[in-house]
């Protein structure tokens, strides 16, 4: 368990953290806490419902949530002493690329592939076609900044691919 600092220079146990936190919440007036609660409420109102099919909206909501939680912890004096670790991706690949698919992206992210339940992911034409070929009932839509005909090219390419083409010998075709 990561040690948390309850007050500057003090170390606390998990049960001590909870007791100290309850005591801080009972204080009659803590202007920092009042501000932090206000910020948290504003963030919840603005980002409480997010379109998870939109990666930018999801990232923005996650960042707002993380920041408001950090502000609340700081106001309570229980902010963590160790910075959070940030996972690093092995290589920049589009969200539609399957982890087992060894092929590189075939350009910028230009399409969204939706399944029959409207869960979707954005991707390049190459991985969008591979995903479309592998998901029953999926459909493809161009992103607003996509070049003309991107979704059509993905649709036509997916029609020529077997499902899970990356599982075939040599990873299937390269592009």
Residue 52 domain boundaries:
14-76
Confidence of residue 169 (pLDDT cuts 50, 70, 90): low
How far apart CA 96 and CA 132 sit, in angstroms, is: 9
Q: Of 38-47, 113-122, 161-170, which one has max mean pLDDT?
A: 113-122
Confidence of residue 83 (pLDDT cuts 50, 70, 90): low
Q: How far is CA 11 from the centre of its chain?
A: 33
Question: Which bin fits 162, alpha (ψ -120 to 50), beta or left (φ > 0)?
Answer: beta
128 within some domain: yes
18 within some domain: yes
Residues 6+ apart with CB under 8 A from 65: 43, 47
88 within some domain: no
């Amino acid at each position: 368990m990561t040690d948390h600092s309850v007050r500057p220079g003090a170390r606390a146990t998990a049960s001590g953290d909870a007791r100290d936190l309850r005591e801080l919440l009972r204080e009659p007036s803590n202007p920092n806490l009042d501000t932090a609660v206000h910020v948290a409420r504003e963030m919840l109102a603005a980002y409480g419902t997010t379109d998870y099919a939109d990666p930018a909206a999801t990232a923005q909501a996650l960042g707002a949530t993380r920041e408001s939680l950090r502000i609340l912890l700081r106001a309570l004096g229980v902010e963590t002493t160790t910075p959070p670790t940030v996972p690093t991706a092995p290589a920049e690949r589009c969200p539609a690329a399957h982890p087992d698919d060894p092929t590189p992206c075939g350009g910028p992210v230009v399409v969204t592939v939706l399944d029959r339940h409207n869960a979707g992911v954005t991707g390049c034409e190459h991985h969008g076609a591979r995903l479309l070929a592998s998901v029953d009932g999926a459909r493809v839509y161009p992103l607003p900044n996509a070049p003309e005909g991107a979704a059509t090219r993905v649709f036509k390419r997916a029609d020529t691919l077997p499902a899970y083409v990356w599982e075939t010998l040599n990873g299937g075709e390269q592009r």
